[in-house]
Amino acid sequence: MSVNSGRRSFLKVAVGSSAIAVAGNASQSQRLQVAVVGTGGRGSDLIRKLTTFRDVEIVGVCDNYPPHLEHGIEYSGGAKGYENFSQMLEDAKPQVVVIATPLHLHEEMAVEAIDFGAHLYCEKILAFTVEAAKRIVDAANKKGTILQVGLQKRSNPIYEQAVSMVQTGMLGEITAIKCQWHRNHSWRRPLPVEKRHPDWERLDRHLNWRLYRETSQGLMAELGSHQMDVCNRILGTPPKRVLATGGTDFWRDGREVCDNVFCVYEYDQQNSEGKPYTVRVTYSSLQNNAYEGASELVMGTQGTLFLTSKKGLFYREETGEEVVIDASSGGDTGAVMVTSGKTLGLKNDPWAHRGKPLEIDSESDETRDALYSFIRKVQNEDRKTICDGAVGLENTATVLMANQAIDTGGGIDYPI
């Protein structure tokens, strides 16, 4: 439990998963043989989390960029390194493959790993196109592959808690969600060679794959995917429609993907009387201002949830406090309205609803817990992972429909 002394909170819950923090004892022979492809930023992280499980053995790491491969080998504690994925499969014969390569390579590698007979942890988003994601899911279903997609908010207890708070009606009817991932960050990696070097272009495409349309689906795939997954989960359904706009407006450095996107998604919901209504979700991502960072604001008729990966805050909607009108002062007390029988202070002050939140804290490492859960599912031969192929496919479609909307355009020109 975490204690936050010196700070007033009327109620505080700490959600955590210390029970699963200690991996079980396993003899050498039972250790699950895992291979990781893509040992860049994310792959290195995954390798390091995997090495903290006693019942996992990393039998191979693969990357075709030697400096990254070196890191992979080092972090895995000296696993065998490969520059070619097929060769790693053939030679290391892993039971589980973890894919952390750039997006455009997910399909090819996933299908190969599935055909080979390995279970699969594939980084988000599942694939570059919806069709490719379907092909992966079909292949996995046919083969009986245990598949988990790396949308690791699925393993974060704060979001678990948020979903149950919504389901139990603590927020009343959900009417809107506002999500954002705002950073002040170019997204461009510095390269080990200068621009005039003959290798610059090749290295730039390789290391800055996120910036080019041939290899990347941009901000919605890289950042928005996690948060749109949260929305689909909270609302219990994929969206039915999206309006979106975006552009390359600030970082004009040769990149092809948007550096800012704004989307409005529409979801079908039913109110407590079973009547249909629409919930709109706004999503934005910026790369030149970081105010409120990566967060989601879930708005309901009875309350609001402000969610981040390490802390959640729940605010009850204030209905206003009763105001006693002092007749001697002429009854002129400023912001006062008269309702049927009661006099309530107006609550249009933007800070009025921000008092005394219920705090939700987490002590858990969502990436480690996501892998831990996946490893357990593989050991138990359970295909119902916390983020399975169906979720991965739905997420891919949710994200890519926004990109399509941006490309298609729309809107009304001024003047009308």
Partner 1 sequence: MATFFEAIIPHTLGSIAIGLSETLFAEVDRVERLISRFDPTSEVSRVNRIASEKPLKIDIELHHLLLICQEYWRKTEGAFDPASFHSDCSGDFAQVELDTSKSTVFFKSPDLRLDFGAVGKGYALQCCRKILESLGAKNLLLHGGTSSILAVGGGLDGNGWRVGVRNPNDPKRPAFECEIRLHNQSLSTSGVIHADENESDLFDPGTGRPLSGSSACSVIANDPVQAEILSTAFLVMGRQRAEDYLLQNPDENLRVAWLEGARDGSPLSWIQCEATCA
Ligand X SMILES: NC(=O)c1ccc[n+]([C@@H]2O[C@H](COP(=O)([O-])OP(=O)(O)OC[C@H]3O[C@@H](n4cnc5c(N)ncnc54)[C@H](O)[C@@H]3O)[C@@H](O)[C@H]2O)c1
Footprint of partner 1 on this chain (CB under 8 A)?
Answer: 2, 18, 21-23, 48-49, 51-54, 67, 74-77, 185-186, 188-193, 195, 310, 361-366
Residue with the CB atom nearest ligand X in the bound state: 40
- Shortest Cβ 349–ligand X spacing (Å): 37
Q: Which is nearer to ligand X, 215 or 304 (CB)?
A: 215
- Shortest Cβ 153–ligand X spacing (Å): 9
Pairing relationship of beta strands 276-286 and 174-182 according to DSSP bridges: parallel
User: Rounded distance, CA 203 to CA 64, Å?
Assistant: 12
- Shortest Cβ 133–ligand X spacing (Å): 13
Q: Which is nearer to ligand X, 123 or 160 (CB)?
A: 123
CA-based torsion, 365, 371, 376, 381: positive or negative = positive
- Shortest Cβ 79–partner 1 spacing (Å): 11
User: Rounded distance, CA 154 to CA 152, Å?
Assistant: 5
Residue 58, beta-bridge partner list: 34
Cβ-count burial 367-392 (b if 16+ within 10 Å, e if not): bbbbbbbbbbbbeeeebebbbbbebb
The contact set with ligand X (CB under 6 A) reads: 37-43, 62-65, 68, 85, 100-103, 105, 123-124, 150, 152, 207, 209, 222
Q: Which helix (H) or strand (E) holds 337?
A: strand 336-338
Give the residue carrying structure tokens 């996690």.
226
One-character DSSP codes across 126-169: S-SSHHHHHHHHHHHHHHT--EEE--GGGG-HHHHHHHHHHHTT
- Shortest Cβ 73–ligand X spacing (Å): 13
Q: Which is nearer to ligand X, 42 or 119 (CB)?
A: 42
Cβ-count burial 83-119 (b if 16+ within 10 Å, e if not): eebeebbeebebebbbbbbbbbbbbbbbbbbbebebb
- Shortest Cβ 378–partner 1 spacing (Å): 18
| 3-state secondary structure at position 174 | strand
Q: Which is nearer to ligand X, 119 or 154 (CB)?
A: 154
- Shortest Cβ 2–partner 1 spacing (Å): 6
Q: How far is CA 96 from the centre of its chain?
A: 23
Q: Which is nearer to partner 1, 3 or 327 (CB)?
A: 3
- Shortest Cβ 399–partner 1 spacing (Å): 24
Q: Which is nearer to partner 1, 107 or 366 (CB)?
A: 366
Q: Which is nearer to ligand X, 75 or 85 (CB)?
A: 85
First to last CA, the chain: 58
Helical segments of 187-342, H only: 200-207, 218-219, 225-235
42 interface partner picked from partner 1, ligand X, none, CB below 5 to 8 A per type: ligand X
362 interface partner picked from partner 1, ligand X, none, CB below 5 to 8 A per type: partner 1
Q: Which is nearer to ligand X, 89 or 286 (CB)?
A: 89
Q: Which is nearer to partner 1, 222 or 388 (CB)?
A: 222
- Shortest Cβ 286–partner 1 spacing (Å): 15
Q: CA neighbours within 13 Å on the CB side: how many for 154?
A: 22
- Shortest Cβ 64–ligand X spacing (Å): 4
Tokens representing 58 are: 């990393």
Give Dmax (Cα) for the chain. 90
User: Rounded distance, CA 212 to CA 32, Å?
Assistant: 36
User: Rounded distance, CA 30 to CA 35, Å?
Assistant: 16
Tokens representing 25 are: 């004892």
| DSSP structure class, residue 328 | G
